[in-house]
Amino acid sequence: MASSAEARGRPRDSWGLAGRILRGSVQTLWPRQRLLWTREGLIYFIFGLALLLTGLVQQINLILLVSTFAAGPVVSSIFVSAAMLRRLKVARKSPRYTFANDPIEIDYSLENARRLSAALALVVEDSLIPIERTFPGAASITPQVFFARVPARSTSNIRWEGVSPGRGRYRFGDLSLVTRSPFGLLERRVSIPSSGELVVYPTIGQLTRRWKVLQRQATENRPGQRHDRSAQQEEYHGLRDYRSGDSPRWIHWRTSARLGELMVKEFEQQHEQDLAILIDPWLPRTKGQVEQREALEMAIRFAATLCLETCRHHGRRLLLAWTGPTPGIRQGPSSVKLAHDLLEQLAIMRPTNEGSLAELFDALPPTILRDAMLVVISTRPVNLIEEAERSTSLSATTARGLMNRALLLNTAAGDLNELIRFREASARNLLEQKLGADIEGPTEDPTELVTGFGDTLPSNRSVEAEMTLSGKGVGGQVNSSRIFSEGLDSSENGKGQP
């Protein structure tokens, strides 16, 4: 019994060794590649097998000969598809960030390093996967581009365009290079390791005139605030009809003559008061209703818009804080870098059912509590006076002064509906239009001429994953470069300086 078992085991062991050798040879010749049947290939194989069985059963040599010839395209597809993927380089260029529901563009390039033969009918497949799927609108994206023909010793570029998903942080998966050459019977694909991340910022809106009125009122309530209206502290905003009591110095005579009625310049008071944005992203422990989650998203969008608006001007400090088990704080002087840091933090902000504004007040710096204007955005009704009294870092005098400089906005009650509006245009275009309008006169910087930005920041990152495909193996190199540079401040051109 033992000898018979050993006899049966020997062929299995020898076949296992042969199988390992065969698999090793295939992996050496075609590393990281998979060969799959297509639907057309399966139908072709079934008909070929039927011919073979018919010839064997009926003993008809002509049918056997035809079935043998039918195997030729399948065998040739195995080797031709492998040769088609040799000495190719695939590169991806993706932005570092985008805005939710905005158009997104990703560039793919295919380089054919072969000397003679062209690369035909190749598909590059990519994937963009959310790291956190609980955010509203978070979804996977699978870009695909088709390269019909890439001549030898040349490079072809194709841009994929789509719509950005919801806010959050996303990770690029490995690239896949796919071919069905030459007959479409077999599909050979090779996986190319390629890493990269994309941050989707919240949707950006436009602050309304109502918000500017509320901000001005809160600023004028600041103790010791001077209410002079010198031209150096005002920013030109637009034209309006003349009203009784307006200064004749602000009459725009050219427009008045053209329209036949008096028109005066309207200015927006500029203040250097620091701004603190406090967010209470509260949601019940149980699964919140759709209205509650939409209220939270509205709060995040408003905070993101306010951060961008504030970072346009130098000389102000901006603080973003939020409640939670451990209160979070991000602060710094208005700058491009701070704007990106705050937008990224808002992009990954999660709802919570823990923490209170009193605990958040205790974590704020004393200078913010003493002088800054506070904008409190909550998704639930909040008694700000009671929260201030519960805080251990606020005295009675400081709490009263804080109430004079605080704006409490309840998104669940619709307090933001009249303060922000959204357009169908992309958030990036809105930024370009809004910030470009602050620049008067010619500029020599083409970037500033297009975007209206002064300071520049590498706001997008090019990620190129280059993999050399050859019969001996797959080698890769990841390169980084800048696609374009943008900033968020127009004061470098001498306009809009507070």
The confidence score (pLDDT) of residue 42 equals 94
The confidence score (pLDDT) of residue 237 equals 59
The confidence score (pLDDT) of residue 291 equals 87
pLDDT(146) > 90: yes
Of 136-140, 421-425, 441-445, minimum mean pLDDT range? 441-445
Alpha carbons 288 and 136: distance in angstroms, whole number: 12
Alpha carbons 304 and 297: distance in angstroms, whole number: 11
Close Cβ partners of 137 (under 8 Å, ≥ 6 residues apart):
100, 101, 165, 166, 167
Q: Mapping DSSP to helix (H, G, I), strand (E, B) and coil, where does residue 24 land?
A: helix
pLDDT category at 434 given cuts 50, 70, 90 is: very low
pLDDT(69) > 50: yes
Cβ atoms within 10 Å, residue 420: 18
Highest mean pLDDT, choosing among 3-12, 79-88, 398-407: 79-88
pLDDT category at 143 given cuts 50, 70, 90 is: very high
Close Cβ partners of 107 (under 8 Å, ≥ 6 residues apart):
92, 93, 94, 157, 158, 159, 160
pLDDT(436) > 60: no
Say which residue, 429 or 395, is predicted with more confidence.
Answer: 395
Reduced 3-state DSSP string for 428-475: HHHHHHHHHCCCCCCCCCHHHHHHCCCCCECCCCEEEEEEEEECCEEE
The confidence score (pLDDT) of residue 15 equals 58
483 φ, ψ (degrees, to nearest 5) = -85, -50
Q: Mapping DSSP to helix (H, G, I), strand (E, B) and coil, where does residue 440 land?
A: coil
pLDDT(123) > 50: yes
Residue 113 has which token pair? 């390093």
pLDDT(469) > 70: no
Contact indicator for 111, 85 with CB cutoff of 8 Å: no
pLDDT category at 440 given cuts 50, 70, 90 is: very low
The confidence score (pLDDT) of residue 10 equals 47
CA distances from 146 to 41, 250, 253 (A): 21, 60, 60
Q: Mapping DSSP to helix (H, G, I), strand (E, B) and coil, where does residue 239 land?
A: strand
pLDDT digits 0-9 by tens, 233-260: 455 557 888 887 777 888 888 888 988 8
Angle in degrees, CA 237, 242, 246, rounded to 5: 80
Nearest to 103 by CA among 157, 133, 141: 141
pLDDT(362) > 70: yes
Contact indicator for 330, 365 with CB cutoff of 8 Å: no
Nearest to 345 by CA among 362, 325, 327, 357: 327
The confidence score (pLDDT) of residue 24 equals 64
Residues in the chain: 498
Q: What share of the chain is helix, strand, coil (3-state, %, to 5)?
A: 35, 30, 35
Alpha carbons 316 and 274: distance in angstroms, whole number: 5
pLDDT category at 471 given cuts 50, 70, 90 is: very low
The confidence score (pLDDT) of residue 45 equals 93
The confidence score (pLDDT) of residue 313 equals 76
Alpha carbons 462 and 191: distance in angstroms, whole number: 20
pLDDT digits 0-9 by tens, 149-201: 999 999 999 999 999 999 999 999 999 999 999 999 999 999 998 889 999 99
Edge-first strand order for the sheet with 103-112 is 88-93, 103-112, 154-163
Q: Which amino acid is at 430?
A: L
Name the burial class of residue 168, with classes exposed (0-12), middle (13-18) and buried (19+) by CB atoms within 10 angstroms of its CB: buried
Biggest CA pair distance of the chain: 116
Contact indicator for 101, 213 with CB cutoff of 8 Å: no
Alpha carbons 167 and 159: distance in angstroms, whole number: 23
CA distances from 270 to 44, 223, 498 (A): 75, 17, 6
124 φ, ψ (degrees, to nearest 5) = -105, 120
Alpha carbons 170 and 200: distance in angstroms, whole number: 8
Alpha carbons 328 and 344: distance in angstroms, whole number: 14
pLDDT digits 0-9 by tens, 28-60: 555 578 899 999 999 999 999 999 999 999 989
What does the pLDDT average to over 62-80? 91
Q: Mapping DSSP to helix (H, G, I), strand (E, B) and coil, where does residue 199 land?
A: strand
pLDDT category at 410 given cuts 50, 70, 90 is: very high
pLDDT category at 272 given cuts 50, 70, 90 is: low
What does pTM read for this prediction? 0.71
The confidence score (pLDDT) of residue 167 equals 95
